[in-house]
Amino acid sequence: MPTPRLNPLDLFDVRSALTDEERMVQDSVARLVDEKVLPIIQRCFEEHRFPKELVPELAALGLLGSSIHGYECAGLNSIAYGLICQQLERGDSGIRSFVSVQSSLCMYPIYAFGSEEQKQRYLPRMARGELIGCFGLTEPHGGSDPANMKTHAKRRGKDWVLNGSKMWITNGSIAGLAVVWAMTEEGIRGFLVERGTPGFAAPEIERKFSLRASVTAALFFDNVIVPEENVLPEALGLKGPLSCLTQARYGIAWGVIGAAQACLAQLLDYTAERVLFGRTLAHNQAVQIRLAEMARQITSAQLLALQLGRLKEAGVMTPAQVSLAKWNNCRMALDIARDARDLLGGAGISAEYVPIRHMLNLESVITYEGTETIHQLTIGRELTGVNAF
């Protein structure tokens, strides 16, 4: 009896290491992507349009703030959140970015650093998708050095006066709530700024060639009055925003695997059918070697993400471990998307195939939430004890 072939997208059977609940999450999000995301996402990318109609679908499955306990959130574990990101990014990085920002960069800091009143006021509405959030940290003069923050807030009586600007903000122009980090006399603080507050503007950034199915904006603050009750009471210093980035980078490390899997899956179908010089491309040794290399990289990334998730669940995950996973897995996915585009030949630049879209998206994903160089230097510091930033 012939030995059954392995799953080409899961050569080490990572799925068997998941719990029943984790597999259920994986399957339900996969169905959502297949039925709701994939039929429309290429057109959204071409039209430079975020599909807001998907937000209720994402909320109904409990994908917004999925790791938070209480406040109408699902309370799933870290591996389940990783699988959510992986399946969503199989659809498009822009959809995963939306969920990542809503969950890890907006709901998480309110949950971790907010008052009980702030949690009750915002988290249930965000879980239901009724209130969209954005995260204001990166500034126009440079995103890799957040300590050099120019946006500032000064006390005025019981209120704060916020001035400055932020750049490359996912969800910015559609968000009803901005989690904004600003320098104060006490250090960096987090402020909750609601849309419509006088002096606050969030114009969309257009003419992007990456993440076109995602909203990206600039944020401007011109003497914006923020009441004391909208300041995150437990966040002081860079530790607050950096801990949010750690949560988001964790999801990215899982998410980009989905983009790589989407590229490989389509390429396997193409090479099995495309005939060149009297035989399919799959019969060509050079093609098989390149496909095998993609599978090797995806498998390594899957095992890295799974162990990272276990460390996170055990409460021992470190930011350096997240940096290594984000760096490794983003580089893996981008390299695979580029090579898949090349193996498709002239068809590789066509919207009929997914690698060019994933490739363009991943050019942003490898940059945001810490560039590749930043993560390399993080690991270098961990190895040597020397800060070379």
**pLDDT one digit per residue (tens) for the chain, 389 residues:** 667 789 999 999 999 999 999 999 999 999 999 999 999 999 999 999 999 999 999 999 999 999 999 999 999 999 999 999 999 999 999 999 999 999 999 999 999 999 999 999 999 999 999 999 999 999 998 778 888 999 999 999 999 999 999 999 999 999 999 999 999 999 999 999 999 999 999 999 999 999 999 999 999 999 999 999 999 999 999 999 999 999 999 999 999 999 999 999 999 999 999 999 999 999 999 999 999 999 999 999 999 999 999 999 999 999 999 999 999 999 999 999 999 999 999 999 999 999 999 999 999 999 999 999 999 999 999 999 999 99
Reply yes or no on whether 47 is catalytic.
no
- First-to-last alpha carbon distance for the chain, in angstroms, is 58
* pLDDT for res 66: 98
Other CB atoms within a 10 A radius of the CB of residue 343 amount to: 21
β-bridge mates for residue 154, sequence order: 161
Task: Report how far residue 37's alpha carbon sits from residue 90's, in angstroms, rounded to the nearest whole number.
Answer: 10
* pLDDT for res 371: 95
* pLDDT for res 246: 96
Which contacts (CB < 8 Å, 24+ apart) does range 196-202 have? 197/224, 197/225, 197/226, 198/224, 198/225, 199/162, 199/223, 199/224, 199/225, 200/224, 202/134, 202/169, 202/172, 202/173, 202/175, 202/178
* pLDDT for res 142: 78
- Give the β-pairing of 133-136 and 177-184: parallel
Minimal CA–CA distance to 158: which of 237, 232, 231?
231
Minimal CA–CA distance to 356: which of 255, 263, 257, 253?
263
* pLDDT for res 147: 85
Other CB atoms within a 10 A radius of the CB of residue 255 amount to: 30
* pLDDT for res 4: 79
**Helix, strand, or coil (residue 19):** coil
**Helix, strand, or coil (residue 326):** helix
**Helix, strand, or coil (residue 282):** helix
* pLDDT for res 374: 96
Other CB atoms within a 10 A radius of the CB of residue 279 amount to: 10
The residue annotated as part of the active site, out of 53, 369, 372, 382, is 369
Q: Could you give the dihedral angle defined by the CA atoms of residues 104, 107, 111 and 113, in that order, rounded to the nearest 10 degrees?
A: 80
Angstrom CA distances, 389 to 123, 364, 374, stand at 36, 22, 8
β-bridge mates for residue 73, sequence order: 70
DSSP 8-state code for residue 362? H
The single-letter code of the amino acid at 115 is S
* pLDDT for res 271: 97
Note the residue count of the chain.
389
What backbone torsions phi and psi does residue 169 show, to the nearest 5 degrees? -100, 110
The pTM of this model reads: 0.96
The single-letter code of the amino acid at 219 is L
* pLDDT for res 1: 64
